[in-house]
Amino acid sequence: MSPIPRPPAGWRERADSAVARGRRFDRFIPAALLDTPVSRIGYWYGCALGWTWGSVWSTGRIEKRAGLWVFRGLPSWAFPRGGVCVGACFLTGDDRPTDTVLRHEAVHRRQWRRYGFLMPVLYALAGRDPLRNRFEIEAGLIEGNYVPRGS
C-alpha cells in the first residue's frame, strides 16, 4: 500500500466547513425522508444492490464484520479507491480490511440508514474530494485512510 499523502494546509477548516454546510442542507430535506421507514426502504435497496454486485464480482471470502457484509476479491474496476459501502455491504479488493477501516465503513452504513435513496445523490453532490466530502469527513478521514495519523 502506498503511503497516505499529507493533506494540504487548511484542510481541517475546509473539512469543518463542508460538514457544517451539509448539516445546513439537511434542514431542507423533509423529516419524513430521514431515519424513517421511507429511508429504510432505500437502505434495503442499497443492501440488495451491494449484495448483488458483491455476489457477482467477489472471488474472495464473504464475511460479516462490524455489522457489515464484507465482499472481498472484487476486481479493481468494480469499486472506487480502497472499497465502497453500499447499504450494509462493503465491497473491496483482495486485502482484508482492518477493524479501523470497518469502523469508518460502519459510519457509512449508518448514513445509508439515515438517508436511504438520497445517499448516493447526496454523496455525489458532496464531491469526490474526501477532504471536502462531508460523508467521508463524518466517517473519519484518518480511519478511512484519507489522511495520515497525526495530521
At residue 13, the 3 state secondary structure works out as helix
E strands, 111-150, where?
Answer: none
Burial class (CB in 10 A: 0-12, 13-18, 19+), 64: exposed
Euclidean distance between CA atoms 120 and 98, whole angstroms: 24
Q: Is the pLDDT of residue 150 over 90?
A: no
Q: Average the pLDDT over 90-114 and give the result.
A: 97
β-bridge partners, 63: 70
Q: Is the pLDDT of residue 117 over 90?
A: yes
β-bridge partners, 71: 62, 91
Q: Is the pLDDT of residue 111 over 80?
A: yes
Q: Quick one: pLDDT at residue 2?
A: 52
User: Computed from CA positions of residues 94, 68, 131, 58, in that sequence, does the dihedral angle turn out positive or negative?
Assistant: positive
Q: Quick one: pLDDT at residue 37?
A: 97
Q: Is the pLDDT of residue 104 over 60?
A: yes
Euclidean distance between CA atoms 71 and 82, whole angstroms: 12
